[in-house]
């Protein structure tokens, strides 16, 4: 059985946002930047359950 944190991590592994051709602007540099931004947002989304767990266990602030 997975711990609560492991379960949160497993659930968060799904992409928050997926790049698709419908997001393409047709400006290569901007499209590359947007793809990178989506990747960064997905990374933050994956880490959030861990950050929330650490914050709640340390009593720093309420994480929602």
In this predicted structure, what is the pLDDT of residue 26?
A: 97
Sequence ranges of the domains in the chain: 1-13+26-50
In which region does residue 47 sit, left (phi positive, over 0), alpha (psi from -120 to 50) or beta (all else)? alpha
Backbone angles phi, psi at 60, to 5 degrees: -65, -50
Gap between the Cα atoms of 12 and 10, Å rounded? 5
Instruction: Please count the other Cβ atoms lying within 10 Å of the Cβ belonging to residue 34.
Output: 15
Query: pTM above the 0.75 mark?
Result: no
E strands in the chain: none
Each of the 64 residues of the chain gets a pLDDT tens digit; together they read 667 766 666 655 568 889 899 999 999 999 999 999 999 999 988 888 888 889 888 765 555 5
């Amino acid at each position: 059985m997975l711990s609560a944190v492991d379960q949160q991590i497993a659930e968060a592994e799904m992409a928050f946002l997926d790049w698709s051709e419908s997001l393409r602007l047709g400006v290569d540099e901007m499209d590359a930047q947007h793809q990178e931004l989506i990747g960064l947002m997905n990374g933050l989304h994956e880490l959030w359950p861990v950050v929330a767990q650490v914050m709640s266990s340390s009593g720093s602030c309420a994480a929602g």
